[in-house]
Amino acid sequence: MITNYQGLDTLRAHGLRLTRPRQLILDVVRATDAHPTAAFVYQRVRRRLPRVSLATVYRNLRMLAAEGLLAERADAGGMRFDGNTGPHDHFTCLACGRIYDVPARAERSVRRRIAARTGFEVLDHRTEYYGRCGACRRQRGRSPVTR
């Protein structure tokens, strides 16, 4: 068992252990910026742990997201998981479906302005961008995306 694994303290604080399946699931999600589905994670984890069940992968993905070690995001294809839990936005390519991380804008100042104007307490936000990625633009020519 790894003792200095990122997130181990969070799990322990909630009375949870870093089991082999949890460790592999975290590793798979954090090793890619593709925002994988549970099915993708399951296929990758099975390479190292052939007896793991899809139910175990789903249960652990949800638990790890609830503990803040992964982020969950819904899209048209179902739930996806993100190993980057820091502030960032997303760009989804409408041609290939890939999801890219985009650095977040100055979120604190936006939250303060919203709170000052409305009296709301903004706890979180999500900004999504849609268009065509560079690879898809090169394949289909240089026509700009308009909306």
pTM of the model: 0.75
pLDDT at residue 58 above 90? yes
List, for residues 81-113, the tens digit of each pLDDT value: 999 888 888 999 999 988 998 888 766 777 888
Q: Give the angle 67-38-11 at the CA atoms, nearest 5°.
A: 20
Percent of the chain with pLDDT strictly greater than 70: 89
Higher pLDDT, 104 or 131: 131
List, for residues 31-54, the tens digit of each pLDDT value: 998 899 999 999 999 999 999 999
Domains and CATH numbers, the chain: 8-82 (1.10.10.10), 88-140 (3.30.1490.190)
Q: Give the angle 95-127-70 at the CA atoms, nearest 5°.
A: 90
- The mean pLDDT value of the chain amounts to 86
Beta bridge partners of 37: 80
